């Protein structure tokens, strides 16, 4: 491979072209009347989606420079998705508009640093203005409205998510699963728990697209000890391999030889395994491991005081669950299969007694957290349909709606349909740049704030966006929105056309930050094939079985 440095107008044009391609592909999904995108797969049927993040990730240009630019954009979209699980479409629309306007100013000879300063000054005022518009979400109806909007107007999804929140509380655990039935959506509440520990190695991931681990009917090994070497758990691992079921190890830590051997055997396909750190610290870690043992039916939490050693464990000594879902930050145990629920209730009663007798406010708070985790359970949204394509498309919308609902509960909501960003224009009325080029940056943000509502109206098949924007700004009512479903004006909060503040805020913030990166980008170094490069002759296969132990 050879390196090529790309600069000047060639680089600027490539940035504009790639961002425009991405915005065209993603922007058409914006709003309740947005269109869907089909993403082809190396195998199987194409995936139908309105998820902007999935679309951005799927676009992989062949040309090295275009690929480098697309990767930068995908990384920013990933940040947006990780933080709120939604907003990538809005982020793409805003980024494209800012870059388009910056390119025009740069071509006219404006100073790029001054433009950037103006843009960043305007950004802070816009974010402050968004905060001033927010309204808290509390009622079940409001939660259903937010979820419905995020699910592209699907009231069934909205009502089911509201039902889940009612079942487990605003801070409760809600997960989404594919159902094997034809019923579109059903809610099931089950025993379960979530704690803030993620996988110890990304090589354990079973779903590479979403970077998470999903196990069905796994065994669970619990220990307060660190695992540095593989020998102590070798007997139980061999039994697990013979059983064909997955294994989750929850320990103080797993590192060194133990971690590398587990990863190697996972990659070779000999063992379905994952490891996470135990939640909490010190005595609280001991207590929480005890809670997990009760919930999963594990007979032992291995420690130095216990007569039973790791080498002595049998499959019957391990805990189990119906499903486990692990991300880089959290572990969710779903559906304890311990039939003796009296053990769980006894543990709950024990914690309640400790709360009553504790004299420390801090201890009481931690005990209440344990109680909530143990007694709250998990709400499972099961998504079904008549075909795999239909199920996956609906599941995407359910997950987006769930992320948006959590964001709305956390930070509140603002008027939807692109109007919240539109109404922040007034916060920039008195902002003046230090020089003409800085003022250009401020004006670029003003024009960018119009882009989302314009795109939503355009996707509804209307060319009336300029008239709609003029009418909305003239009314001096920041709760007024334009509902593209009915093509009429309405109050945002009574009509339910609302967006989570957190989604709008982060989408705007990341869009401006990404645009700032591109506007000051002077060169990109890319690899291009050289004449001496030869295609690979193939790689040696990876052995299977338990040979890595």
DSSP string, 270-338: S--EEEEEPSSSHHHHHHHHHHHHHHHT-S--B-TT-SS-GGG--GGGSEEEEEEEE-SS-EEEEEE--
- Per DSSP, the three-state class of 194 is strand
Mean pLDDT of 246-271: 92
Q: In what order do the strands lie in the sheet with 185-190?
A: 173-178, 378-383, 185-190
The CA–CA distances, whole Å, from 235 to 19, 217, 231, 293, 509 equal: 54, 20, 8, 21, 52
Does residue 535 carry a pLDDT above 60? no
E strand or H helix at 15:
helix 8-27
Residue 30, annotated as binding a ligand: yes
Prediction pTM value: 0.74
Query: What pLDDT does residue 337 have?
Result: 53
Output the CA torsion sign for 5, 10, 12, 14. negative
Residue 31, annotated as binding a ligand: yes
% residues pLDDT > 70 (the chain)? 95
Lowest mean pLDDT among 27-41, 178-192, 238-252, 280-294: 178-192
Residue 533, annotated as binding a ligand: no
The CA–CA distances, whole Å, from 537 to 103, 533, 534, 540 equal: 44, 12, 9, 10
How many angstroms separate the CA atoms of 233 and 156, rounded? 47
Task: Write the pLDDT tens digit of every residue in 24-41.
Answer: 889 999 988 889 899 988
Output the CA torsion sign for 538, 544, 547, 549. positive
Does residue 426 carry a pLDDT above 60? yes
Residue 88, annotated as binding a ligand: yes
E strand or H helix at 48:
strand 47-49
Residue 90, annotated as binding a ligand: yes
| Torsion of the alpha carbons at 112, 113, 115 and 116, rounded to the nearest 10 | 120
Residue 499, annotated as binding a ligand: yes
Query: What pLDDT does residue 533 have?
Result: 60
Query: What pLDDT does residue 537 have?
Result: 44
The two beta strands, 37-39 and 47-49, are antiparallel
Residue 256, annotated as binding a ligand: no
How many angstroms separate the CA atoms of 436 and 314, rounded? 75
**Which string of DSSP letters, residue by residue, matches 205-268?**
-SBTTTTBEEEES-EEEEBSSEE--SGGGHHHHHHHHHHT--EEEEESEE-HHHHHHHHHHHHH
Query: What pLDDT does residue 531 have?
Result: 63
Mean pLDDT of 268-292: 90
How many angstroms separate the CA atoms of 58 and 213, rounded? 21
Q: What are the chain's domains? A: 2-135+423-461+511-528 (1.10.560.10), 192-339 (3.50.7.10)
Residue 50, annotated as binding a ligand: yes
Does residue 183 carry a pLDDT above 70? yes
Does residue 528 carry a pLDDT above 80? no
Task: Write the pLDDT tens digit of every residue in 118-164.
Answer: 999 999 999 999 999 999 987 888 888 888 877 777 889 989 998 88
């Amino acid at each position: 491979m050879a390196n090529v440095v790309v600069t000047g107008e060639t680089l600027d044009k490539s940035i504009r072209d790639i961002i425009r391609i991405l915005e065209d592909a993603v922007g058409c999904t914006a709003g309740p009347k947005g269109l869907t995108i089909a993403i082809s797969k190396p195998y199987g049927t194409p995936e139908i989606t309105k998820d902007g993040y999935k679309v951005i990730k799927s676009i992989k240009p062949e040309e090295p420079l275009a690929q480098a630019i697309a990767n930068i954009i995908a990384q920013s979209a990933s940040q947006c998705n990780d933080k709120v699980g939604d907003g990538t479409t809005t982020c793409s629309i805003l980024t494209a508009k800012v870059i388009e306007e910056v390119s025009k100013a740069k071509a006219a000879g404006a100073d790029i640093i001054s433009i950037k300063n103006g843009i960043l000054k305007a950004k802070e005022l816009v974010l402050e203005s968004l905060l001033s518009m927010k309204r808290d979400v509390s009622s079940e109806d409001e939660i259903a409205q937010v979820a419905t909007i995020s699910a592209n107007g699907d009231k069934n999804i909205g009502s089911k998510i509201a039902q889940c929140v009612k079942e487990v509380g605003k801070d409760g655990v809600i997960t989404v699963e594919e159902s094997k039935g034809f019923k579109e959506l059903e809610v099931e509440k089950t025993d379960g728990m979530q704690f803030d520990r993620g996988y110890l190695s990304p090589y354990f991931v079973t779903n590479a697209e979403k970077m998470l681990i999903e196990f069905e009917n796994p065994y669970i090994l619990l220990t307060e000890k660190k695992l540095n070497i593989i020998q102590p758990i070798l007997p139980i691992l061999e039994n697990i391999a013979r059983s064909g079921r997955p294994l989750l190890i929850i320990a103080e830590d797993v590192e060194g030889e133990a971690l590398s051997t587990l990863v190697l055997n996972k990659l070779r396909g000999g063992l379905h395994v994952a490891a996470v750190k135990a939640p909490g610290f010190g005595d609280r870690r001991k207590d929480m491991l005890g809670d997990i043992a009760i919930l999963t039916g594990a007979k032992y939490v291995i420690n130095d005081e216990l007569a039973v050693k790791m080498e002595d464990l049998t499959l019957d000594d391990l805990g189990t669950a119906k499903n486990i879902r692990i991300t880089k930050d959290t572990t969710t145990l779903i559906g304890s299969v311990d039939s003796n629920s009296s053990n769980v209730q006894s543990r709950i009663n024990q914690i309640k007694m400790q709360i009553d007798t504790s004299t420390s406010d801090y201890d009481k708070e931690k005990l209440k957290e344990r109680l909530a985790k143990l007694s709250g359970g998990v709400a499972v949204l099961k998504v079904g349909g008549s075909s795999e394509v239909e199920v996956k498309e609906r599941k995407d919308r359910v997950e987006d709606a769930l992320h948006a609902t959590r964001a709305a509960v956390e930070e509140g909501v603002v008027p939807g349909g692109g109007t919240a960003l539109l109404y922040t224009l007034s916060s920039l009325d008195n902002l003046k740049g230090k020089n003409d080029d800085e003022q250009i940056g401020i004006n670029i943000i003003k024009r960018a704030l119009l882009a989302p509502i314009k795109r939503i109206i355009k996707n509804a098949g209307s060319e009336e966006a300029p008239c709609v924007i003029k009418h909305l700004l003239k009314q001096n009512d920041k709760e007024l929105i334009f509902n593209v479903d009915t093509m009429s004006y309405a109050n945002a909060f009574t009509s339910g056309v609302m967006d989570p503040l957190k989604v709008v805020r982060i989408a705007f913030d990341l869009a401006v930050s990404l645009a700032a990166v591109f506007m000051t980008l002077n060169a990109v170094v890319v690899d291009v094939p050289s004449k001496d490069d030869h295609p690979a002759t193939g790689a040696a296969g990876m052995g299977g079985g338990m040979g890595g132990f």
